[in-house]
Structure 1
Amino acid sequence: MFKKSKLINQEDKKKIPNFGELNETYYYQMIDYEKPYMDSLDYFTEKLEKLYNEIINAISKIQLEKYGEIYKQWKSSDGIDSFKFLIRLISILDNQYKENFDIDIKKEMPEKINELANKFELSYSLKEELIEVNSLRNKLVHDGYEINKEETQKIDKVIQTFTSEILFNVLKPLNLDKVQINDEFNLYDNNQINKEIGFFLSSYVSNLIRFNDMTKGLINPLVEKLGIIIEK
């Protein structure tokens, strides 16, 4: 908005467009008033920002970037071997347990895995597979056991299933597929906000994991399971 104001400093005549009226000099001053209302774009943006923060907060509970980092190191030609991968994997699970439960009570790793599985609603089969992976880790550490190709493939499948399940289960309570905008003028299709969520989620998860071999089989099934649209 503009407001007619008297030009006090006459030296500003050369700098500011002005006009004369009743022997006085005036100019139009631009006034940036705060909007007394939220228009449709404001509401759309605010809704998205709120959802993005909820997604970030939910994913922050599961240390996804750490699993992605060790998986990338394991799969890289000059990275870590299966022995070091299992050591670090179980260590991350142990740290995740410490962040979620009382660590004053000493417990064995299988019991910790069981409690983590219950908290994050992991499937029974995945819980049992994680316990088996922990047993394999112990054999490598204490018995000098050498892991075979079949076991390596199983570990690979377990870590991918784990990241998929735990990611889905922390995002599921957000009901991202049911988000709507109360837009009385119908300026936005609710599918539009759905697509924006899908784009943000896929980008955010990819940036956390930073390894295409892991994300390519994770993101599309995840968003489809959540009922979200990804713009092709």
Structure 2
Amino acid sequence: MKILVIFNHPYEGSYCAAILEQIRTGLAAGGHELDLIHLDRDDFDPVMRDKDLRAFALGRNDPDAAAALVDPEVLAYRDRLLAAEHIVFVFPIWWELMPARMKGFVDKVIFPGLTYGYTEKGRTGMVSYMEKLRGVTVITTMNTPSWAYRLIFGNAVPKALLRGTFWKIGVKNRRWISLSNVKSRSLEKRRAWLAMIEDRMRKLK
């Protein structure tokens, strides 16, 4: 299966970077094909600018005109999304939300006329152009306790990204792997998490 991994963490020595290595290992062991978008190495610009908002307005009725306005990098990312059979997002949760580059990727690439359109029902009837896509997995790290993130902050990231973005465009297979209290965890626990992620990537269907 062709797996697109979208990664956002600027520090090469981070736990997210260790997760990425286990993803590589697990996907290789499972015979999967990996396509990696590393937003930090790409120096991806997350800002929605005037031309992007004009493209957004055009996307529903004139996708070609919309595509002519967006950055070539966005179009290249779009093509990789359309080829993916499973998407894996990896990023830390900072101040209860995703980093700027990851949010910008969602804003600029999960975009009308590029990766989704609308049915005759209007804006509530969205349809994905990612026809090969079987599922989405989001892997996050944070130092907030899981109970606090759920009860106080409402599980903001999975609600926005999985229940919001991907549920809206019709992706049914959506999973969240949440690793909490990362800094205070033992070495054994962190290693166990990495082994779990490797196993899940190997068994992706």
What TM-score does the superposition give when structure 2 sets the normalisation length? 0.27
More strand by share: 2
Greater radius of gyration (CA): 1
Q: Tell me which of the two structures has the higher relative contact order, counting C-alpha pairs closer than 8 angstroms and 6 or more residues apart.
A: 2
More helix by share: 1
What TM-score does the superposition give when structure 1 sets the normalisation length? 0.25
